[in-house]
Amino acid sequence: MSSTAAMFRVTARWVFPVSSPPIENGVIEIVDGRIADVRQLRGTADDRTLDLGAVALLPGLVNCHAHLEFSDLASPLGEPAAAASGAVEYPFADWIGRVVAHRRNRVTALSELVHNGLQEAMNSGTRIVGEIATGDWAPEFVDWDSPRVVAFRESLCFLPEQTTPQLELSRQHLARCRAAVAEDRSRAIRTPDWPAMPPRVIGALSPHAPYSVLPELFESLIQLAADEQVPLCTHLAETRAELEFLQHGTGPLRDMLSRIGLWRDNLHPTGRRPLDFLKSLARLEHSLIAHGNYLDQEECSFLAEHPQISVIYCPRTHHYFGHAPHPWRELLVSGASVALGTDGRSSNPDYSLWNEVLWLDRMTAARERPLLLELATLRGARTLGLGVETGSLEVGKRADTYFIPLTPGAESDPFRSLFGPAQSR
Q: Which is nearer to Zn ion, 10 or 132 (CB)?
A: 132
Cβ atoms of residues 151 and 125 within 8 Å: no
CA 220 to chain centre: 23
Q: Which is nearer to Zn ion, 121 or 290 (CB)?
A: 290
- Distance in angstroms (rounded) separating the CA atoms of residues 306 and 316: 26
> Longest C-alpha distance within the chain, in Å?
74
Residues 239-298 that bind Zn ion (CB under 5 A): 290
Closest distance between Zn ion and the C-beta of residue 191, in Å? 38
- Distance in angstroms (rounded) separating the CA atoms of residues 419 and 357: 9
- Distance in angstroms (rounded) separating the CA atoms of residues 150 and 131: 6
- Quick one: which of 85, 9, 13 has its CA closest to 410? 13
Closest distance between Zn ion and the C-beta of residue 201, in Å? 19
Closest distance between Zn ion and the C-beta of residue 238, in Å? 8
Three-state SS at 263: coil
- Quick one: which of 280, 394, 388, 385 has its CA closest to 337? 385
- Distance in angstroms (rounded) separating the CA atoms of residues 65 and 237: 15
- Distance in angstroms (rounded) separating the CA atoms of residues 28 and 73: 38
- Which position's Cβ is nearest Zn ion? 290
Cβ atoms of residues 286 and 312 within 8 Å: no
Q: Which is nearer to Zn ion, 95 or 302 (CB)?
A: 95
Closest distance between Zn ion and the C-beta of residue 37, in Å? 39
Cβ atoms of residues 155 and 221 within 8 Å: yes
H or E stretch covering 14: strand 7-15
- Distance in angstroms (rounded) separating the CA atoms of residues 209 and 155: 9
Q: Which is nearer to Zn ion, 13 or 318 (CB)?
A: 318
- For the chain, the first-to-last Cα distance in angstroms comes to 51
Closest distance between Zn ion and the C-beta of residue 99, in Å? 10
Q: Which is nearer to Zn ion, 61 or 236 (CB)?
A: 236
Three-state SS at 47: coil
Q: Which is nearer to Zn ion, 225 or 290 (CB)?
A: 290
Q: Which is nearer to Zn ion, 11 or 63 (CB)?
A: 63
Three-state SS at 254: helix
Q: Which is nearer to Zn ion, 10 or 77 (CB)?
A: 77
Closest distance between Zn ion and the C-beta of residue 417, in Å? 33
Closest distance between Zn ion and the C-beta of residue 2, in Å? 43
Cβ atoms of residues 65 and 342 within 8 Å: yes
Q: Which is nearer to Zn ion, 133 or 290 (CB)?
A: 290
Cβ neighbour number for residue 202 with a 10 Å cutoff: 24
Orientation of helix 252-259 relative to helix 92-105, angle to 10°: 30
Binding marks (x or -) toward Zn ion, 332..351, rule CB under 5 A? Answer: --------------------
Closest distance between Zn ion and the C-beta of residue 316, in Å? 13
Closest distance between Zn ion and the C-beta of residue 54, in Å? 37
How many residues in the shown chain lie near Zn ion by CB under 5 A?
1
Binding site for Zn ion (CB under 5 A): 290
